[in-house]
A and B are shown apart, each in its own frame.
Chain A
Amino acid sequence: MKWDWGAVADFMPHFWDGLLVTLQILALGSVISFALGLVWALLMRVPSRWVTWPVGTITEFIRNTPLLVQLFFLFYVMPEWGLTMSALTTGVLGIGLHYSTYTMQVYRAGIEAVPVGQWEAATALNLPVRRTWTAVILPQAIRRVVPALGNYVIAMLKDTPILMAITVLEMLGEAQLFARETFQFTEPLTVIGVAFIVISYLASLALRALERRLVH
């Protein structure tokens, strides 16, 4: 087996395309999972079983079934019900939804970690419920969970190649396409492997910087 810099050069245009797609999935997937996870976590605190039971069941189901199965379902079954989306849109929604069932647990822990005295002070000051959440509880809860949320961003990055299964050409998809056409596997797979490490590392640096800013 020989290392061929020529193959690397040939692969690079495809790599950039794949990188862009991977970063899109990661960015949009993170936003969806952060927002939706918070919605789930808040819904689970509504004092009514008519809300908590369906939300709990649905999120439990999503968390405990494989992402790959969910992606196939969204991509191949939903169109039969008249809902057709592009592979990338499906993938982003699928991965965001899947990870929202993890982030909801993170938010839950963060919310429960806010001391009960904070709720009591908000009550004593007569703050409305909504204001208590937005001004007192959530800012403290979210600050606590940034590191845990960050870990899920990195986990999500490593799950982006699963979207290849529904024809999304992210980094691994591009590498495999290139390999199939040229029979050169080593170079494209090595390039994307390095890219994953670099992105993970940069993401963890950014997270640490964010953590430092939040803890004053």
Chain B
Amino acid sequence: MSTDTPETLPNPEKKTTAGGAELIRLEQVTKRFGSNTVLDHLDFSVDAGKHVTLIGPSGSGKTTILRLLMTLLKPDEGTITVDGQKLFPASDKEVREVRKKIGMVFQQFNLFPNMTVLRNITEAPVTVLGMSKDEAVERAKGLLDMVGLADKCDAHPAQLSGGQQQRVAIARALAMQPKVLLLDEVTSALDPELVAGVLDLLRDIARSTDITMLCVTHEMNFARDISDTVLMFDSGRVIESGSPEKIFSEPEHDRTREFLSAVL
């Protein structure tokens, strides 16, 4: 499957080195739910600082990859390596170290409804990173300012619109200072008029930070704007990958063409 290792991605044979900066690698990863094979011997890797977008029809395994990386799921076969640390098998301590490097934003926001907006953001930095409460609050306020919700510190999630909740969720993920941000269809649950605000925020983050992004999305314009690489999924495999210009302008694969003509 030559399409699994395009020029823009490092050769999977290459070892992780200080300058090589390969951050994530999946090798021969297979995931099944019952008799349904969601990921089929998948290989791919992501370099530090790159923005990779996963596109493809529903059920093609895109979200499953993010969930595997976040250790919400276990692969049935294959290895996943994050920043040199192999997941599955790994000790609890090793898994926790890997999780520290990864943040995730969910389709349904998943804010903690029993906490204020501020506490949603400070909870993990204080209890996981051991940050002092004052520092965590200070940083949380900075992040809320960045996402345009500085005045919502003391609100509860239920008092916010979907778009506002998702921006808080992005701030919450960033508060952990992850190296990788996983974005799982983050605008799919939003009312159409709220989508642009969230995508603009993510564009800003992509432009102004060196955070690595893995993004599952159906927003093709957004994918074109922020991506270094676009991976086209179908039936648990990457059938085509490359720069957004290549994928969106001159896709090689028929399935890619069909998919793009259906969504664009």
Contact = CB atoms under 8 A, between A and B. Distances in A.
Interface residues of B, number: 25
B176 A126 contact: yes
B128 A128 contact: yes
15 contacts: A117-B108, A121-B106, A121-B110, A123-B70, A123-B71, A124-B72, A124-B99, A124-B106, A125-B123, A125-B173, A125-B176, A126-B96, A127-B128, A131-B127, A143-B114
Nearest to B176: A125
Contacts of A9: none
Interface in B225-247: none
A121 B113 CA distance: 12
B104 interface: yes
Interface of B: 70-72, 96, 99-100, 102-104, 106, 108, 110-115, 123-124, 127-128, 156, 172-173, 176
B224 to A, nearest CB: 27
A127 B124 contact: yes
Nearest to B70: A124
Contacts of B176: 125-126
A120 B156 contact: no
A173 to B, nearest CB: 43
A117 B110 contact: yes
Given A121-B112, A139-B114, A143-B114, A126 B106 contact: no
B112 A136 contact: yes
Interface string A91-131: 00000000000000000000000010110110111111001
Contacts of B72: 120, 123-124
A127 B127 contact: yes
B127 A128 contact: yes
Nearest to B159: A216
Nearest to B182: A124
Given A124-B173, A125-B176, A216-B156, A118 B127 contact: no
Contacts of B106: 117, 120-121, 124
Contacts of A200: none
Nearest to A139: B114
Given A117-B106, A118-B110, A126-B124, 18 more contacts: A117-B108, A120-B72, A120-B110, A121-B106, A121-B110, A123-B70, A124-B106, A125-B123, A125-B172, A125-B173, A127-B123, A131-B127, A135-B115, A136-B112, A136-B114, A140-B112, A140-B113, A216-B156
A73 B99 CA distance: 52
Contacts of A117: 106, 108, 110
Nearest to A117: B110
A126 B99 contact: yes
B124 A140 contact: no
Contacts, number: 59
Given A123-B72, A216-B156, A135 B123 contact: yes
A131 B96 CA distance: 14
Nearest to B128: A126
Contacts of B156: 216
A75 to B, nearest CB: 42
A140 B173 CA distance: 21
Given A126-B99, A127-B123, A140 B114 contact: yes
Nearest to B124: A125
A135 B128 CA distance: 13
B181 to A, nearest CB: 11
B114 A126 contact: no
A143 B128 CA distance: 25
A126 B100 contact: yes
Most B-side CB within 10 Å, residue of A125, A135, A140: A125
A193 to B, nearest CB: 41
B99 A118 contact: no
Question: Which A-B residue pairs are the 5 nearest by beta carbons?
Answer: A121-B110, A125-B124, A117-B110, A124-B104, A139-B114
A152 B19 CA distance: 64
A120 B114 CA distance: 16
A121 B165 CA distance: 14
Contacts of A135: 112, 115, 123, 127
A184 B127 CA distance: 65
Contacts of B127: 127-128, 131, 135
A68 B108 CA distance: 49
Contacts of A136: 112, 114
Contacts of B172: 125
